[in-house]
Amino acid sequence: MDVFDALVEQNHQLGEVLRAADPATPVPTCPGWTLRKLLTHVGREDRWAAMIVRERADARVDVRSVPDGKPPAEIDAAVTWLTDGAALLLETVATTGPDVPVWTFTGPKPASWWVRRRLHEAVVHRADAAIALDEPYEVDAALAADGLSEWLDLLAARSTPDGGAALPDGATVHLHTTDDGLGAAGEWLVRGEAGRVVWEHGHGKGAAAVRGSAAALLQAVLRRIPADDPRIEVLGDDGVWRTWLERTPF
């Protein structure tokens, strides 16, 4: 999968959904947000990531300092502003150099790290828009599976949550897609270790096993659909699954 091309396509798809919608529509999966706020958030943070890369930042940059951080009022212009943000990030990564180390949530990483991060931000917020509009949400299985892996990488970099460890030490959650053709990329073993989350691709028994399409699993782990949604099947200790979700907010 080419994450550069995928970022352009996902932002385009999100923009087309928003172009046809009432911008004042509430987004239930992002409390307090409207679709207009969702558009602003994605476009501004694409520009924020570009600013981090352009400045070769070694510390967090204040998102409020991002140039051109607000979309135009008119919807077609706002959608163009949204997609221009993704294009700006790709151009900046290419100019700066994809391997140049910059600040990220998980410590210094190559500038290209931000392309994959912003890609999956668009993937998830496209689900938010679909839920807000009560429309079907479709995403390529391999892309959704990569989004789940990317999210687990972010979780693994976090310290122990204030509310307690996401998983007890030694406890494992096995996530397993039902899509054909994903192979090892469609299975994850997530376990608690010294209060933190670690993971690897693989098949094995755990305190809880959760099965579903990659799209459903991605939405479930990011709390876009309920823990007991019929699109997923939970086997084993349902409490371990629910506690993990409660302590790993997006």
Q: For 116-144, how does the pLDDT look when each residue is reduced to its tens digit (9 = 90+)?
A: 999 999 999 999 999 999 999 999 999 99
Q: Which single residue is written with the structure tokens 């912003």? A: 118
- C-alpha span between 76 and 99 (Å, rounded): 35
Res 250 pLDDT > 90: no
Res 60 pLDDT > 90: yes
Domain coordinates in residue numbering, the chain: 3-133, 158-246
H or E stretch at 14: helix 3-19
Q: What pTM did the predictor assign?
A: 0.96
The answer to whether 152 touches 188, Cβ cutoff 8 Å, is: yes
Residue 183 CB: number of other CB atoms within 10 A?
10
H or E stretch at 84: helix 75-96
- C-alpha span between 65 and 39 (Å, rounded): 18
Report phi then psi at 34, rounded to 5. Answer: -110, 175
Rg (CA), the chain: 18
| Residue-wise pLDDT tens digits, 145-154 | 999 999 999 9
Torsional class of 183: left (φ above 0), alpha (ψ -120 to 50), beta (otherwise): left
Interior CA angle at 217 toward 115 and 230, to 5°? 150
CATH superfamily of 3-133: dinb family like domain (1.20.120.450)
Two structure tokens written together for 197: 């989350």
Two structure tokens written together for 11: 């932002």
Residue 108 CB: number of other CB atoms within 10 A?
12
The answer to whether 224 touches 215, Cβ cutoff 8 Å, is: no
The dihedral through the CA atoms of 121, 127, 133, 137 has a sign that is positive
Confidence of residue 161 (pLDDT cuts 50, 70, 90): confident
H or E stretch at 115: helix 113-133
Res 195 pLDDT > 80: yes
The answer to whether 250 touches 168, Cβ cutoff 8 Å, is: no
Interior CA angle at 194 toward 188 and 200, to 5°? 15
Sheet containing 187-193: give its strands across: 196-201, 187-193, 172-177, 208-212, 232-236
Two structure tokens written together for 16: 């087309």
| Residue-wise pLDDT tens digits, 66-94 | 999 999 999 999 999 999 999 999 999 99
Two structure tokens written together for 122: 């668009």
Domain 158-246 has CATH 3.30.1050.10: yes
**What one-letter code names the amino acid at 75?**
I
pLDDT for the residue 10: 98
